[in-house]
Amino acid sequence: MQRIQRIVAVALLGAASVAPALSETRQESTGPTPSNSPSTKELGWKAWGLRVGVTEDSDQVVAGAHVNLGDVMNNVRFQPDLQLGSGDDHTTIFGTAPLYYRFDTASRMTPYAGGGLAVGYVDVDLPDGANGDDSEFVVGARATGGLEWSRAASQAFFIELSLGFGDIHDATVMAAWTF
């Protein structure tokens, strides 16, 4: 558990040190907008990105990708993701279909909150002497909150915390970049 706490602390410090520089490179806006990155009230491919992070309750390092598919309604973004995790004798693959409410702000940072359904596959390496491996498909829900710094029309950096309910990771801290 101490190892995962050190990893989370390093990830958060790294994100905190990079975020101000990213927000300064953002093009000036003409005022507050419902979303500071590509979206705008219609579904469809807007951008994609990469994400990395750590989980608690199977102490894993996770990496994956997400797709910004736009807004389903004013300020509500649909941004599914796929993540691969490894560590603590577990290998996981999770896909999440979340909706995020993006709060209106006059700043370069946009807080968001939401959640969605998570479906995954978990493979546990059993100790030597045990018979084979233990694997299963799991379903759960995630509640997520985060902060996004927009850089340009289709570029953003964000950090987020997700809490899991059901047979999925209890907590995940992620840093992500959208291109």
Question: 32-81 pLDDT, tens per residue?
Answer: 344 444 445 688 999 999 999 999 877 899 999 999 999 999 999 999 99
Tell me the residue ranges of DSSP E strands in the chain: 43-56, 61-73, 76-78, 81-87, 90-102, 109-125, 133-152, 155-166, 171-178
- Vertex 163 angle, CA 106 and 97, to 5°: 75
User: Which of 173, 119, 178, 170 is closest to 152 using CA atoms?
Assistant: 178
Which range, of 1-15, 19-33, 89-103, 155-169, averages the lowest pLDDT?
Answer: 19-33
Residue-wise pLDDT tens digits, 151-177: 877 789 999 999 999 989 899 999 999
Distance (Å, whole) CA 158 – CA 15: 8
Q: What is the largest CA-CA distance in the chain?
A: 65
pTM over 0.85: no
pLDDT at 134: 83
What's the whole-number mean pLDDT along residues 102-109?
A: 90
**Could you tell me how far CA 78 lies from the centroid of its own chain?**
12
Q: Which domains does the chain have, with CATH numbers?
A: 2-178 (2.40.160.20)
